[in-house]
Structure 1
Amino acid sequence: MTSQNRLASADIYRGFVMLLMMAEVLHFGDVSKALPNSSFWAFLGHHQDHVEWVGCALHDLIQPSFSFLVGVVLPYSVANRLSKGGSFSQALWHTIKRSLILIALGIFLRSQYKTQTYFTFEDTLSQIGLGYTFLFILAFRSQKVQIVALITILIGYWLAFALYPLPDANFNYTDAGVTKDWEYNLSGFAAHWNKNTNLAWAFDRWFLNLFPREKPFLFNGGGYATLNFIPTLGTMILGLLAGNIFLSSSSSQEKLKRFLILGISGIILGLVLDALGVCPNVKRIWTPTWVVFSGGWCFLLLAFFYWVIDMKQSTDAYFLKVIGMNSIAAYCIADALGVYISKSLKIHLGENYASILGDSYQTLIHGGLMLLIYWLILHWLFKKKIFIRI
């Protein structure tokens, strides 16, 4: 998008999401362990980590928000590109290249500190790249087609998991990296979505072993899977629908109302589907219920930032704007430079410099300084008008 038609609320929402990701260095969970009687730090620690399987913490909303926002801004990007005289075929070729770059960048970041290229596709950037070309094509179709595509993805993906057979008596749980009596295992029909015994895990046991590896792929420790990109595309389509609302002739109040209705409806529907056992709400394998539930939260967060930034014309979000307008740079800085910055601080300030407020807050002080450095790098790029675009 050009500076003239950028959607300010999307930039600030993206900045908020990236801040949550970068703020992992604060390690609230470690502070909570050091202060076990503090409910305040326990709360922060819980929401700065992913839930083990079913459910949602604030940290779980980072990836769906980032994916959702890809869909939100796409109609603007398409309109801008076509306004400059570009053809559909030219735009499609650019999109395919962008998809491949995102996939490759995700693999590159996951390969750090490995002895060879680590082919894996569950990284946020790779997941978006795998679905982005399909999203682009849908952006040129009617909203009815977009909704039909979304419903088809959700029902089709649900059915594929539901039809995949459950582990039998001879199933080797050790090779799946879980135990039969793991406390987070689901029972009954919901067991079709258990960790590393599902369709997506079986696909990766075949697919990921097609690539050169140090050792055969058996399982992902977190339960994440390549096929997550399919329902992630559903999340991006929800964002595309939100982008359509933004570009509609409706009033600001009507747009805000629609975001709120869609947000609340998504959360309620997701909770109902999970409670009834139709499909559990699992972020790690991006179940259809998770698409609906997390999508509801994305609509509500978008509504909040739209109301504050675009409708109320707030000018107090500069800190987030610096991050949100350079989100790819922020992602790479946090992912690729974090270890280097952390080690450098301890080299130059001393191993125990962060104990100034006591041992319990070491990770907080150290992480806070790292987070400041991240932002200062992004601020320098912002001032120099250097924005990483793919």
Structure 2
Amino acid sequence: MNPTTTNQRLLSLDAFRGFIMLLMASSGFGIVQMASAHPGTLWEFIKPQFAHQDWQGCSLWDLIQPSFMFMVGMAVPFSYAKRREHGQSYIGMAWHALSRSILLVALGVMLATRSADKHTVFAFTNVLAQIGLGYFFLFLFTRMGWEYVLSAIILILAGYTWFFVNHPLPSAQDLAAISGMKGTERAVLQGFAGHWSIHTNAAAAFDRWFLNLLPQAQPFQYNAGGYQTLNFIPALATMLGGALTGSFLMRSTKSDKSKCATLFIIGILLLVLGTVLDVRVLPFVGPQLDQYTLLPVVKRIWTPSWAVLSGGWVLILLSIFYLVVEILGMRRLVFPLVVVGMNSIIIYLLHSLCAGWILENLHKHLPETAFPAYWAPVIDRCGVLFVLWLICWWLYKQKAFLKL
């Protein structure tokens, strides 16, 4: 995990990153809104893939964050090999990693605060803050051998499972306190899986202690969606998995076809393992316990089974992009994705800060006929997406790339 040379830029990684960021910036292409307006149609059939799961389970939309975080890890071996080639010392690289961590956390807090009134919102659950919290540790681990990185992944996931299991199951009083709260209907799990229920789990208890140590407009009690600060710990395992993958693609002497097959096979194995951990019917305990789960797949608290399952999906998607770009050579086909993938932080910030302003101006300057009533949700979001892509394309032409 400490290579001294780097190959040419991995275009399939840029294309995959661009695909994920465009999916994020699409705001679901308006499909959720179309499904609500037209029940019983195709829109309603595909809607679940463009919305987060209420709690347990996985959708395409849920895969955006783990894909991005996995690719952050993938880029690390390439980035630091290049820095070594340019003569940067270990101390210099460590300082870069630490400063990047701090900046990403600060950007995450800024985005959490953008709609607040005259006070800072200390929340660390958006993707930039989560990457920032784990990035320095990612750097430290990837300076070691792959055996240490793999061991770290296993220990992180096992330790985080132990942390949750050793937190008491929710009491009747705990469940009564969250009863009727929005989003809790399907998020209170039964039996052993109750350790991963919304608002009553170990990470939620940590946030009620930790966030109240920081200045708050009012005491922190719950994150509305159930997201937690400590998600960055199992998410670090996701980034480390990306680092292992990046190092493998950069250093392996195998053919591109063999590399692609390896990614796909490991992806399938992880998918099977994550599904087995999440299985809801255990025949040996009887049908009366059909709602019990060994280790539920929950993206909102990044359960270890989620890290495994999502890692499998990411590797499968990556293998497809690797096949298309590196093996079949369809580089022109993915150019629109590469334009975005090389400026992923820019499109994330612009979408977070300017999407509403862009939409307002589209309606202000385009004729009403450009927004037919039936297609309005789709046109609104695709219009914003196209403007964001044009900005990334212009920056690409100027060779202007934001690098933290």
TM-score greater than 0.5 by the shorter chain: yes
1:368 corresponds to 2:382: yes
**Match of residue 267 from structure 1:** 271
**Match of residue 281 from structure 1:** 297
Correspondences of 1:115-264 after superposition (within 5 Å):
115=117, 116-171=119-174, 173-174=176-177, 178=181, 182-247=185-250, 248-264=252-268
**Match of residue 318 from structure 2:** 302
Question: In the alignment, is the contact (CA less than 8 A) between 2:153 and 2:240 conserved in 1?
Answer: yes
CA distance in 2, matches of 1:389, 1:347: 33
1:290 corresponds to 2:306: yes
Question: In the alignment, is the contact (CA less than 8 A) between 1:354 and 1:366 conserved in 2?
Answer: no
Quick one: which amino acid aligns to residue 56 of structure 1?
A: C
Question: In the alignment, is the contact (CA less than 8 A) between 1:200 and 1:225 conserved in 2?
Answer: yes
Higher mean C-alpha displacement, 271-280 vs 61-70 = 271-280
- TM-score of the pair, normalised by structure 2: 0.91
**SS of equivalent residue, structure 2 residue 301:** coil
- TM-score of the pair, normalised by structure 1: 0.94
Deviations 1:227-252 (A, max 9, x none): 00000000011111111210222221
Question: In the alignment, is the contact (CA less than 8 A) between 1:259 and 1:303 conserved in 2?
Answer: yes
**Match of residue 337 from structure 1:** 354
CA distance in 1, matches of 2:178, 2:185: 14
Higher mean C-alpha displacement, 58-67 vs 251-260 = 251-260
CA distance in 1, matches of 2:57, 2:178: 25
**Match of residue 385 from structure 1:** 399
1:312 corresponds to 2:324: no
Q: Which portions of structure 1, spanning 4 or more consecutive aligned residues, are displaced by more than 6 angstroms?
A: none
Quick one: which amino acid aligns to residue 81 of structure 2?
A: A
C-alpha displacement of 1:171: 2.4
Quick one: which amino acid aligns to residue 389 of structure 2?
A: W
**TM-aligned CA distance change 1:3 to 1:80, over 3 Å:** closer
C-alpha displacement of 1:44: 3.2
**Match of residue 18 from structure 2:** 15
Alignment partner for residue 325 of structure 1, among 342, 347, 367? Answer: 342
**Match of residue 285 from structure 2:** none
Question: In the alignment, is the contact (CA less than 8 A) between 1:176 and 1:219 conserved in 2?
Answer: no
Deviations 1:245-279 (A, max 9, x none): 10222221221121011100000000001115221
Quick one: which amino acid aligns to residue 250 of structure 1?
A: K
Q: CA RMSD in A?
A: 1.9
Question: In the alignment, is the contact (CA less than 8 A) between 2:101 and 2:136 conserved in 1?
Answer: yes
**Match of residue 44 from structure 1:** 46
Quick one: which amino acid aligns to residue 207 of structure 1?
A: F
Deviations 1:190-219 (A, max 9, x none): 010001110010111111112222211110
C-alpha displacement of 1:346: 2.8
Using the aligned pairs only, state the percent identity: 42
Question: In the alignment, is the contact (CA less than 8 A) between 2:16 and 2:341 conserved in 1?
Answer: yes
Quick one: which amino acid aligns to residue 153 of structure 1?
A: I
CA distance in 2, matches of 1:152, 1:195: 24
Give unpaired runs (5+ residues) of structure 1. none
**SS of equivalent residue, structure 1 residue 171:** helix
CA distance in 1, matches of 2:108, 2:326: 32
Quick one: which amino acid aligns to residue 126 of structure 1?
A: A
Quick one: which amino acid aligns to residue 77 of structure 1?
A: S
Question: In the alignment, is the contact (CA less than 8 A) between 1:354 and 1:363 conserved in 2?
Answer: no
| Paired residue total | 385
C-alpha displacement of 1:26: 2.6
CA distance in 1, matches of 2:46, 2:26: 12
Deviations 1:290-311 (A, max 9, x none): 0000000111111111111111
CA distance in 2, matches of 1:180, 1:373: 33
**TM-aligned CA distance change 1:200 to 1:354, over 3 Å:** farther
Deviations 1:57-86 (A, max 9, x none): 100000000000011111111100000001
CA distance in 1, matches of 2:341, 2:402: 11
Alignment partner for residue 84 of structure 2, among 82, 85, 90? Answer: 82
